[in-house]
Chains A and B, each alone.
Chain A
Amino acid sequence: AQSVSQHNHHVILSEAASLELGCNYSYGGTVNLFWYVQYPGQHLQLLLKYFSGDPLVKGIKGFEAEFIKSKFSFNLRKPSVQWSDTAEYFCAVRHGSSNTGKLIFGQGTTLQVKP
């Protein structure tokens, strides 16, 4: 079965440290890729998305992600985290050839940024 794997379940960083959260998926065809973020007490929000074109995607709040097709990866990065980035981060994949909008989510990574 198709799956999405997020390598880090819980990450703790100090402010200004660099961040990279891993995401790998198991589908070999065309994919749409997403990172969603859930801040404490808030709902899931779209951070960035990749549909086609430039594999380096820039999102809100200084986040970016790089699609590496050969590695089936879509890692999330931020050069300098802030305390306000404390949240849960979900990677999601949609099969590009599918005729539905179904997203397959990873299990999530909890990021804690220490001030």
Chain B
Amino acid sequence: EAGVAQSPRYKIIEKRQSVAFWCNPISGHATLYWYQQILGQGPKLLIQFQNNGVVDDSQLPKDRFSAERLKGVDSTLKIQPAKLEDSAVYLCASSLPRVWDTDTQYFGPGTRLTVL
């Protein structure tokens, strides 16, 4: 079974530029998550989709971050404009559409963003 795919793996941009990350979840997984992992910290949830609907985006900085999952499969996370503090690894995860108390998430390799 193919895992969660993410691209690009690395991205270097200057502050105030825009950037987009792409994620393709495991086939059949209805739930998709984007996490931000700053160096030395654990991942922090930015947004969760169930099919193409948003379940939780309470920690997404909506003034500069946006995400979509238009067809309920792959997803794009965008930052516009980027700030220095956005330097992090952006992780995508997916899970089957089970009840939440048995949910297990599978993670992709991540995109390492450096903002100069």
A residues contacting B by CB (< 8 A) are 4, 30, 32, 34, 36, 42-46, 49, 51-52, 90, 92, 94, 96, 98-103, 105-108
Write the nearest CB–CB distance from A67 to chain B, whole angstroms.
Answer: 14
Closest to A98 in B: B100
Q: Which residues of B lie under 8 Å from residue A44 when comparing CB positions?
A: 43, 91, 93, 107
Q: A32-B102, A101-B103 are in contact. List 20 more A-B contacts (CB 8 A).
A: A4-B42, A30-B101, A32-B101, A43-B91, A43-B107, A43-B110, A44-B43, A44-B91, A49-B104, A51-B101, A90-B42, A98-B100, A100-B55, A100-B100, A101-B31, A101-B95, A101-B100, A103-B105, A105-B44, A108-B41
Q: State which of B3, B56, B107 has its C-beta within 8 Å of the C-beta of A102.
A: B56
Number of B interface residues, CB 8 Å? Answer: 27
Closest to B98 in A: A101
Task: Assess the B102–A43 pair: CB atoms within 8 A.
Answer: no
Closest to B40 in A: A107
Task: Assess the A96–B101 pair: CB atoms within 8 A.
Answer: yes
Q: Which residues of B lie under 8 Å from residue A36 when comparing CB positions?
A: 107
Closest to B44 in A: A105
